[in-house]
Structure 1
Amino acid sequence: MNQLDILIPFALPPAEMARDLLRQCQAPALAMLLARGKTAAPTQSHDPFSRALPHEHWLARRFGLPQPAQDSSPAAATALMRSLGHAPSAGHWFVLHPAHIHVARDHLVLTDVGQLQLDEAQSKKLFASAAPLFTEIGHEVVYGDAATWFIRADAWAGLRTSTPSAASGRNIDIWMPEGPGELAWRKLQNEVQMQWFSESLNEEREMRGLKTVNSMWIWGGADTSAAVASAYAAGYGLNGWTQALSSAPASLPGAADIAAGNGHRLLLLDQLVEVALAQEWGLWLQRMESLDREWLAPLLASLRDGAFDAVNLILTGADKLVQTSTTRGALRKFWHPPSLGKLLS
C-alpha cells in the first residue's frame, strides 16, 4: 500500500486559545483532509509533565527505540552518534547539549537549545575547556557537532532524563535527571558551569547580543546494544535525532517528489515547534497557513490524482495526539464540509 504519514508537531494549539486561533486560520487543505478523513485512533492524552513531548514519544515508538521502564526521554544517543560518524564504544551513552539557563522570578528556565546560535569554533573551545572535567572522573566524552556532544556513563543507566524540547521554557527543577547518577551529574554540571563562567567567549557573545553558554543538558540515554527498526521505506524532513533513526533520505524535497515515491513514507513538518515553544501564536498562524499552502495543498492534490492510497495525519500538541487517515475515495464525501474542528480535540 502506497501511503504517507505526515507528522506535524504542535498543530494542536492550547485548548484555551484553540477556538480563537482556528477561527482566524486559513488552512483549506488541512480542513479538507481532516473533514474527509477517518479518525485512526482515539485522541491520546499525554501527561503534561512527561519527559518527552507527544511527537517525540510517537517517533520513538515508530522507529522501535527501547521503551524505558519509567517515563524518560527517547533512547536516541547511540543512533545519533552513529549518524554523526562515531562508532560508540560498548556502554551506556547520553546526549549532551551546550545550553543557556536563565533566572526567572524564583526559578531557573532552560532556553530552547535550538536557538543558541553556537558555531563550530565556539563549541569546540567550550568542549576543550570542559572535557578534562569529564575524563578526570572516568567518563568518555565525544564531540559530535556544534550543538551535540556525548558522554558515556555506564553507572547512570536508568537515569530518567527529559528532552530539551519538553523542558524548554519551563522550571528546570521539574525536568532535571532523576535516578542512578543523579547527584554525580549535578556535581559535574555545576563544575562545568563554573568552568565556563569566566570564559571570554561568553563575554564576546553577550557583546554581540547572544545568549551565554552557561550550562549543559543531558538526555537520550541508550546502550550500544540497542537496535533501531525503522517502519518506513523513506523519511523526509527528519533532523537531529529523528534523522539518526532513519536510513532513508533526510532532506526535505518538494511535495511532488514525495508523491512520486512508493511504499510507506514519513514526512515530518516541524516548523511550528519553535514558535509554539516560544508561545508566539501570531507566528504560529502564519506558519500553519504556510504549511498548508506549500505542503498540504499539493499533497492533497496528489492524493486526488491517485499518487497515494492514503494520507495519514499525526497532529500533536503539548499534551495530546490526534491521528486521521484520508483515502482518495473519502475525498468524494462532499457531505462533510471542510473543517478544522478536529484540532479542538
Structure 2
Amino acid sequence: MSDSKLAPLGADPTPQAVIVPYAAAAPEGARAALSALQLPHLDRLLPTLQAAPTDEGDEYHYIPPHERALARALGLPDGVSPAAPPPWAAHRAQQQGAAPGTAWAWFYPCHWLVGADQIQMSAPSELALSEREAQALLAVLAPFFAEDGITLQIDTPERWLASGEVFRDLHSAALDRVLRRDIQLWLPEGPGARTLRRLQSETQMLLYTHPLNEARQAARRPVVNSFWVSGSGVLPATWQAPRQAPTVWDTLHQPALDGDWAAWSAAWQQLDAGPVRELLQRSEAGQPIELTLCGERSARRWHSAPRSLGQKLKGWFQRPRCNTALEAL
C-alpha cells in the first residue's frame, strides 16, 4: 500500500483520495478506546463532505474493507464477489515486467502454531527471514512446487511471488484476516484449493528436518513450517493504472493487528493533528477531496460536493462527533 504524501495545495484539481485502514475495529478493546477518542479535525471535516453509500460487510469476509476500497480506487476487482478477489500479486508481477494473462498469488513462508483444537499463524514478518535464508528455502521448495506447475520467486524475504494455473480461480483470504486466528476459517476455496492444502501438509514434512530450521531452532527462533497464499488471481487484460493512485494512511494498521489500543488511539490522534488537519485545510480551500474510513467489517467514503447555505449551517450547528461514523464500521 502507498503511504505517499499529499500534493501541495493548489497543485492539482484531481480529488485527493485518502484511504484509512483500521479506522475502527471489532474487538471490545477497540470500542472502548474509540468511545474516549477525541478527533477534533475529523469532527470538523466530515460534515463538510458528502457521504457515499457504505460498503457493507462483516469480519468474516475474505477481503477486508481497506483492500476492497484500494482495489476499487485502482480499477481492480474488489473481492466483494468470491469469484473476483483483488489480484495483488499479479499487479506486482506486472510492475516487474511479467507477461499478462498469468495467474499469480502472494506466497508467504510462515510459522503455524498447532494447538489442541486450532491452528494459528504468526505474522510472516516475525520470522525475520534474511535474504540468505529465503534463498535456502527457495532452493528446496522451488523444485518441489514445480511438480504441480507452480513457479516461486522471491519478492522480499518474507513475501514471495508464485505463478501457476492453480491460482487462476482461487478465492484466498487476505493475510490480515488470518493472523493470530484459526486458519481453518480462512483456508482457500476454489478448484486449486485441494492442491494447496496437500502442498501445505507436504511442506511441513519437507521442512521439518531442514538444516535451516535446525539452525533456527538451536537459536530459539521460530521455524518455517508452512506457507500462506493470498492476493491470488489474474490482472484484467484491459486494466490500466489510474493517473493518480490513492494515498493510504497505514499507521493504525499494526496497532490494530497487535490489539494495542493505547497505541492505536495515539496513532489516531497523530493522524488527526497532522494529515487530517491538512485535509481539512484543503476542503476549506475548495479543493476536492475523498476520504475512505475502513473498519474490519465495512468502509464509508466521503467526498467533496456542492452544498447549499442551509446545508452548511445545518452541518455547523448540528455537527455530530465522528465517533458515531467510526462505530458503524
TM-score category, normalised to shorter length: 0.7 to 0.9
Q: Aligned AA for 1:184?
A: T
**Map of 1:177 onto structure 2:** 188
Say if 2:23 is the partner of 1:11. yes
Aligned with 2:173: secondary structure?
coil
1:315 equivalent among 293, 296, 305: 293
CA distance in 2, matches of 1:166, 1:72: 17
Q: Which amino acid aligns with 1:298?
A: E
Cα deviation digits, residues 166-209 of structure 1 (max 9, x gap): 22222111111122122221122222222222234334445656
Establish whether residue 279 from structure 1 lines up as the match of residue 259 from structure 2: yes
Corresponding residue number in structure 1 for 2:327: 344
Structure 1 unaligned spans of 5+: 236-265
Number of aligned positions between the proteins: 310
CA distance in 1, matches of 2:29, 2:49: 24
Distance 2:193 2:166 in 1: 10
- Whether 2:51 is the aligned partner of 1:39: answer yes
Once residues 39 and 303 of structure 2 are traced to their aligned partners in structure 1, the CA distance between those partners, rounded to angstroms, is 18
Runs (4 or more) in structure 1 with deviation over 6 Å come to 327-332
In the alignment, is the contact (CA less than 8 A) between 1:88 and 1:224 conserved in 2?
A: no
Q: How does 1:1-150 map to 2 (within 5 A)?
A: 1-14=13-26, 16-17=28-29, 20-41=32-53, 43-66=54-77, 70=82, 73-83=85-95, 85-88=96-99, 91-150=102-161
CA RMSD after TM alignment: 2.8
The answer to whether the 8 Å contact 1:159/1:179 transfers is yes
Would you say 1:153 and 2:164 are equivalent positions? yes
- Secondary structure of 1:78's counterpart equals helix
Shift of 1:110: 2.0
- Higher mean displacement: 19-28 or 271-280: 19-28
- What is the CA distance between 1:57 and its match in structure 2? 1.4
Moved more, 206-215 or 322-331: 322-331
AA at the equivalent of 1:271 = T
* Deviates further, 48-57 or 206-215: 206-215
Letter in 1 for 2:297: D
Tell me the residue number matched to 1:261. Answer: none
**Distance in 1 (alpha carbons) for counterparts of 2:156 and 2:75:** 25
What letter corresponds to residue 260 of structure 2 in structure 1? Answer: E
Give the letter aligned to residue 161 of structure 2: F
Find 1:334's aligned residue among 307, 313, 316. 316
Of stretches 308-317 and 136-145 in structure 1, the one that deviates more from structure 2 is: 136-145
2:7 is matched with which residue? none
Q: Once the two structures are aligned, what percentage of the paired residues are identical?
A: 26
User: Are the counterparts in 2 of residues 37 and 327 from structure 1 also a CA contact under 8 Å?
Assistant: yes
**What is the aligned counterpart of 1:303 among 283, 292, 302?**
283
Task: Quickly say closer, same or farther: Cα 1:7–1:198, change in 2 above 3 A.
Answer: same
Decide whether aligned partners of structure 1 residues 87 and 214 sit closer, same or farther in structure 2, where only a CA change above 3 A counts.
same
Cα distance in 2 for partners of 1:208, 1:37 equals 54
Per-residue deviation at 1:96? 0.9
Cα drift, residue 275 of structure 1: 1.7
C-alpha change, 1:234 and 1:205, in structure 2 (3 Å) is: farther
Letter in 2 for 1:13: A
Higher share of residues assigned strand: 1
Q: Deviations over 1:41-66 (max 9, x none)?
A: 2x332132211101111222222224
Q: Distance in 2 between matches of 1:339 and 1:94?
A: 41
Alpha-carbon distance change, 203 to 291 in structure 1, aligned in 2, over 3 angstroms: farther
Distance 1:196 1:342 in 2: 47
Aligned to 2:317, the other structure's residue is in SS state coil
How far did 1:112 drift?
2.7
Contact 1:72 1:162 in 2 (8 A): no
Q: Structure 2: which 5+ residue stretches go unaligned?
A: 1-12
- The one-letter amino acid of 2:15's match is Q
For residues 141 and 93 of structure 1, the distance between their equivalents in structure 2, rounded to whole angstroms, comes to: 10
CA positional deviation for 1:88: 4.3
